[in-house]
Every structure is written in C-alpha cells, then in structure tokens.
Amino acid sequence: MKVHGQEYRSIWLDPKEEGLVHLINQNRLPWSFEIADLRSPGDALEAIRSMMVRGAPLIGATGALGMYLAATTAKNQKDPEAFLNDWAYRLSTARPTAINLARSVNHVFNKIRLGQSGEVSLLAKKEAELIIEEEVDACRKIGEYGLPLIRECAEKKDGKTVNILTHCNAGWLACIDYGTALAPVYLAHDAGLPVHVWVDETRPRNQGARLTAWELGQHGIPHTVITDNAGGTLMQKGQVDMVLVGSDRTTLDGYVVNKIGTYLKALAAYDNHVPFYVAIPLSSFDLNTTTNPLLLPIEEPDPEEVRMIEGWHDGEIKQVQLFPENSPALNPAFDITPPEFVTALITEKGICMPVIEETIRLFKE
C-alpha cells in the first residue's frame, strides 16, 4: 500500500544485503513514519515484544524472518542445532494469542532442521518469503471475497454511503499488505463505492485511533474515530451497516479471538441486526478441534498500558497517567466472540458460516 505516494509493505527483506530486514516501526505512528532494521533474531524478538510490529499475520512473518536471521549466524555457534532450537522457542512464545507466530516460526524451524547444514540460511529465507507471499495473497483474496458484501449493501442503500465499523487495526500494517478486515474496504473505495469507516479507538494501546486512522487517511478513505463505547449507540441509531474485524486465532467451530472489545461489538451488532463479519486468513485458524474456548491463550500485558496513555505533545511522543497511582489495573488484551454472534467468516477460500463443517471444508479445498 502507499505511504506519501510510495509503495510499502509493513516488513520486507533488504534486496541487496543478506541478513537485513526492514520494517515500519508502528510504535512511532501516526506521528512519525520510521523504518527500523532487524539484523539478528534478538532484534526480531524485541520488535515483536515491544509491538513495533503487531497484528497476527505480521508477527508471524517477523517470527519467520527472525528464524532466518538466526539461521544466518547458526554455523558460527558451538552447537548450531541447540542455537536454532533456542531461538525457535523464544520467538514462537513471544506473544501467545495470535496463532500465526508459533505456526510460522515452527514451520521455518522444521524445514531447516531437515535441510543440510550449508544451506540452512537460504532455506530459512525461502520459507520465510513463502509465508510472506502467502499472507499477502490471502489478504488480497479476502478483499475480493469481501467486496461483494459491501457492494450489495451499497445497492440496498441506493448508492448512499456504507458505514463500516472496525476494531483495532486489521489493515495492511498488521498484515504485510492489504489487511484482513480493511482489505474489502480498500477494494470497495478503489471501485468507487461510497464507504465510511467508524474507527474504534481500541484502548489501551489505541491501535484503531493511531494505526487504522492513519492507514485509511493515507488511502483517502473517509473515516471517523470513535470511543470504544460509542459503537452500540451508533448501531441503535442505524448508523452502522456492518462490522468488519480481524482475528488473531479462530477455532474451527467459530470462536473468534480478537482484540479486547470485539466481543462487546458483536453483542451490540447482534442486538441491532447489524451483520458482524470476521475477515481471517486460514493461517489464523486454530486447528485443534478439541479446544475449549475458555482455555485459549489470552495475553495479559503490563497493566501500566491501562494506567498510562500515549500521545503527541510539543513535537514528542509522551505518556501521561490516567488514574490514581494506587488503583490497580487489569489488562486482558483479547476476548472471545462465540460463533452465534458471527454472521460469517471471510477467508481467502471464500465466505463461510462459523461452524466446523464449513471451516473444515475450506481446508480441504
């Protein structure tokens, strides 16, 4: 996607220098557009942990590239296999909720374990690149499958603006290119359909207000940032035509894990007969059919994220405290929306109901 008229992805390999990866530092957006470099698996780990990169497909890609960076130095280690094993563990567990991370890291690790010693880094690079291209392709197709839903809505409204509510950032920043939830929105806008996006601010880290608003603005898509609590009243007033969100992990029987607050939007949508769509690549499905949704791993980052808020003041990014020093805070980062509140899943293989018979069919196709 374009930033200031130039084509970017959220992460990419340096075309000339081996062992060098570039990424957009999302912790500086929207105020400063900065590119950061990764030269070691430790850099990749830090980028994931500090949320310089975030969003399920992107942290999967960063983990895979982290394994590539580990592979470039493995042969200089006393015990290369133990070194790779250690990095596979550290990278794959850096953030537990989005299933793409462990899946991508383990995929690259398993491939290089089977490879011959001399070609380990080449193999790791090839596998990481494959993962990246597959994610980009999946997002583009999610956009193509999602577009008719917006078109139908626009037709029903006689060409009046289609109002779409989204939560967190499930755009191209989170996904290398195109996005999951935002991919159909980009295609609809490019096709000349009138779209407007209600952007949930997404406390505590404000991925909606900071990243989604920035992305949409770069592409010239009309949008309005709202507080996380505003969606319900907008739905009651008929000002939301559909909700479109992404997911960090969805079970085959349709339990959708996504950024905290998604569940409340699904409840409000259900009560107001507003369609609630989840855009998700197959790489974000949890294939464990026996998963008890209550046992799905939900990250609980530092409660300081709740106590403090970050913003732009006097030309600098600053943090201010929001409530009394002694008041405790709790910070569950994701929630689980049960399938009965999900209208449909939009995947790169098509649209399906959130039921096991249909999700399994997607994998068989």
Instruction: List contacts with ligand MRU (CB under 6 A).
Output: 54-57, 98, 168, 170, 174-175, 180, 207, 246-248, 258-259, 333
Q: Min. distance of Cβ 97 from ligand MRU in angstroms? A: 8
Q: Which is nearer to ligand MRU, 251 or 258 (CB)?
A: 258
Q: Min. distance of Cβ 100 from ligand MRU in angstroms? A: 8
**Quick one: CA dihedral 143, 147, 153, 157, positive or negative?**
positive
For the chain, the C-alpha Rg in angstroms (whole number) is: 20
**Quick one: CA dihedral 181, 187, 188, 189, positive or negative?**
positive
Q: Min. distance of Cβ 243 from ligand MRU in angstroms? A: 12
Q: Which is nearer to ligand MRU, 83 or 281 (CB)?
A: 281
Q: Which is nearer to ligand MRU, 80 or 96 (CB)?
A: 96
Q: Which is nearer to ligand MRU, 84 or 170 (CB)?
A: 170
The first and second tokens of residue 268, run together, are 């409000």
**Quick one: CA dihedral 95, 101, 102, 105, positive or negative?**
negative
Q: Min. distance of Cβ 365 from ligand MRU in angstroms? A: 22
Bridge partners (DSSP) of residue 350 are: 347
Distance from C-alpha of 291 to C-alpha of 288, rounded to nearest angstrom: 6
Q: 56-74 and 99-114 are packed helices; what angle lies between their axes, rounded to 10 degrees?
A: 30
Q: Min. distance of Cβ 4 from ligand MRU in angstroms? A: 23
Asked if residues 167 and 263 have their Cβ atoms less than 8 Å apart, the reply is no
The first and second tokens of residue 11, run together, are 């992460």
List the catalytic residues: 248
Distance from C-alpha of 248 to C-alpha of 55, rounded to nearest angstrom: 7
- Please state whether beta strands 6-7 and 285-286 pair in parallel, antiparallel, or not at all (unpaired): unpaired
Terminus-to-terminus CA distance in the chain, angstroms? Answer: 29
Shortest-Cβ-distance residue relative to ligand MRU: 246
Asked if residues 208 and 201 have their Cβ atoms less than 8 Å apart, the reply is yes
Q: Min. distance of Cβ 179 from ligand MRU in angstroms? A: 7
Q: Min. distance of Cβ 212 from ligand MRU in angstroms? A: 10
Distance from C-alpha of 318 to C-alpha of 66, rounded to nearest angstrom: 30
Return the C-alpha torsion angle 170, 171, 175, 180, nearest 10: 60
Q: Which is nearer to ligand MRU, 115 or 275 (CB)?
A: 275
User: Helices in the chain by DSSP H: which ranges?
Assistant: 41-49, 56-74, 80-92, 99-114, 120-156, 172-175, 183-190, 207, 213-218, 231-236, 262-271, 304-307, 356-364
The first and second tokens of residue 354, run together, are 């959130």
Q: Which is nearer to ligand MRU, 112 or 185 (CB)?
A: 185
Bridge partners (DSSP) of residue 24 are: 35
Q: Which is nearer to ligand MRU, 56 or 268 (CB)?
A: 56
